Amino acid sequence: MLEVRDLHAGYGRVPVLRGVSLSVPPNHIVGLLGANGAGKTTLIRAISGLAAVHSGDIRFRGASLTRMRPENVVRRGLVQVPQGRLLFGEMSVQENLEMGAYTLRGNAAFAAALERVHAMFPVLRERARQSAAVLSGGEQQMLALARALMSSPRCLLLDEPSLGLAPRAIDTILDVVERIRAAGTPVLIADQNARKLLQLAQYCYVLENGRIALEGDSRHLSSHPGVIASYLGATET
């Protein structure tokens, strides 16, 4: 589905990623672990066309996305939910969802997408006329995820969806991510909550200093001494 091969990327001429390779198969959740500054966000932004690719290849559903403009990446069906949510705070919940649907054509497609996200996040129907800025942190993350889903993506990229959320809100968001995967949309997710991520994802990659340091089945990585020492020992349950 999504293949990244020997990717070198960064910002301008400043390198961040150094030879990263990974894959996201159909019907999978794939996790990205790593400390702050390891390159997780840069990797997601490079895949989305928002960070400079110096060399390597990014392929999605058989077609190369390397150096493709971000709006065209979205039209291909690869959609990012950014770190920090980046909602349009002064706009209403409904207007934010409309912004996410700009690739859809026709009222019927929009109505169907809206019904799907309202079924997944009923609170967004209740808050439709409120501005995004007054929502709680958990509700804002729901809105950011729903906005991405409005375009009917073929694959989702999630960057730190649990950041700053209460434990109950984290569980709600991650439960929805699993439902999205079960419905047929694969997910690449980067998150600081290593314990939750290893429970959610089928396969994980560990990024260190812009390189893949470890990879494997999540159950295997959960018992790896390096992962336990670096990530699980200090992660809240």
pLDDT for 237 equals 36
Residue 122 CB neighbour total at 10 angstroms: 11
Instruction: Give CA–CA dist 187/185, Å, rounded.
Output: 7
pTM of the model: 0.91
pLDDT for 107 equals 87
Q: Do the beta carbons of residue 205 and residue 212 sit within 8 Å?
A: yes
pLDDT for 230 equals 87
Instruction: Give CA–CA dist 179/78, Å, rounded.
Output: 18
What are 38-89's pLDDT values in tens digits?
Answer: 999 999 999 999 999 999 999 999 899 998 999 999 999 999 999 888 898 8
pLDDT for 88 equals 87
pLDDT for 232 equals 81
Instruction: Give CA–CA dist 169/171, Å, rounded.
Output: 5
pLDDT for 36 equals 87
Q: Hey, where are the domains in the chain?
A: 1-77+155-237, 86-152
All residue ranges of the chain with pLDDT < 70 are 234-237
pLDDT for 8 equals 96
Alpha helices of 48-83 — where are they, by DSSP H? 70-75
The DSSP H or E segment spanning 96 is: helix 93-100
pLDDT for 64 equals 94
pLDDT for 235 equals 41
Residues 6+ apart with CB under 8 A from 169: 136, 137, 138, 141
CATH topology of domain 1-77+155-237: Rossmann fold (3.40.50)
